[in-house]
Amino acid sequence: MKALVIDDSRTMRRIVARALEDLGFEPPLQAEHGRDALDQLEAGAEVDLACIDWNMPVMDGLTFVSQVRANPAWRHITLMMVTTEAEHGQIVRALAAGAHEYLIKPFTTDAIRDKLDLLGLVPAEEHV
Amino acid sequence: MTATVERDQVQAIAQEVFAAMIDGDLGLLLPWDGDLPTIDDALVAWVDLHGDWSGRAVLVTANDTALDLARVLLDLDPRDDVSRDDLVDALGEIANVVGGNLKSLLPTPGTLGLPHVGDELPPLDGAVRAHHLPLSWRGRLLVVDVWVTTPLNPKEIP
- Find the mean pLDDT for residues A62-85: 96
pLDDT tens digits, B46-68:
999 998 889 999 999 999 999 99
What is residue A125's predicted lDDT score, i.e. its pLDDT?
Answer: 63
Measure B19 CA to nearest chain A CA, in Å: 9
Give residue B125's pLDDT band: very low, low, confident or very high (50, 70, 90).
confident
- A92 close to B (CB below 8 A): no
Q: Nearest chain B Cα to A107, which residue?
A: B20
Size of interface A-B (CB pairs under 8 A): 62
CA distance B82 to B92: 15
Q: How many CB atoms lie within 10 A of CB B3?
A: 11
Q: Which domains does chain A have, with CATH numbers?
A: 3-104 (3.40.50.2300)
What is residue B53's predicted lDDT score, i.e. its pLDDT?
Answer: 84
- A42 close to B (CB below 8 A): no
Strands (E), chain B: 29-31, 42-51, 55-62, 110-112, 116-118, 128-137, 140-148
Higher-scoring residue by pLDDT: B127, A78: A78
CA distance A5 to A17: 7
What is residue A124's predicted lDDT score, i.e. its pLDDT?
Answer: 61
Burial of A126 (0-12, 13-18, 19+ CB in 10 A): middle
Q: Are B99 and A105 inside 8 Å of each other by CB?
A: no
In this structure, are residues B78 and B57 in contact, taking their beta carbons and an 8 Å threshold? no
Burial of A15 (0-12, 13-18, 19+ CB in 10 A): buried
- B30 close to A (CB below 8 A): no
Mean pLDDT across chain B: 90
Measured in degrees and rounded to the nearest 5, phi and psi for residue A105 equal -75, 140
Q: Which residues on A lie below 8 Å from B87 (Cβ)?
A: none
**Candidate from A11, A18, A106 with C-beta closest to B16:** A106
Q: Which residues on B lie below 8 Å from A14 (Cβ)?
A: 73-75
What is residue B1's predicted lDDT score, i.e. its pLDDT?
Answer: 44
Residue B2 has pLDDT above 50, yes or no: no
Q: Which residues on A lie below 8 Å from B73 (Cβ)?
A: 11, 14-15
Q: Which residues on A lie below 8 Å from B24 (Cβ)?
A: 108
Chain B (48-87) residues lying within 8 Å, Cβ to Cβ, of chain A = 70, 73-75, 85-86
CA distance B30 to A106: 18
Q: Which domains does chain B have, with CATH numbers?
A: 7-28+40-156 (3.40.1550.10)
ipTM of the complex model: 0.86
Measure B120 CA to nearest chain A CA, in Å: 21
In this structure, are residues A12 and B95 in contact, taking their beta carbons and an 8 Å threshold? no
CA distance B12 to B26: 9
Q: Are A11 and B20 inside 8 Å of each other by CB?
A: no
Residue B126 has pLDDT above 90, yes or no: no
- Find the mean pLDDT for residues B150-158: 52
Q: Are A105 and B100 inside 8 Å of each other by CB?
A: yes
- A89 close to B (CB below 8 A): yes
- Output DSSP code: residue B127: -
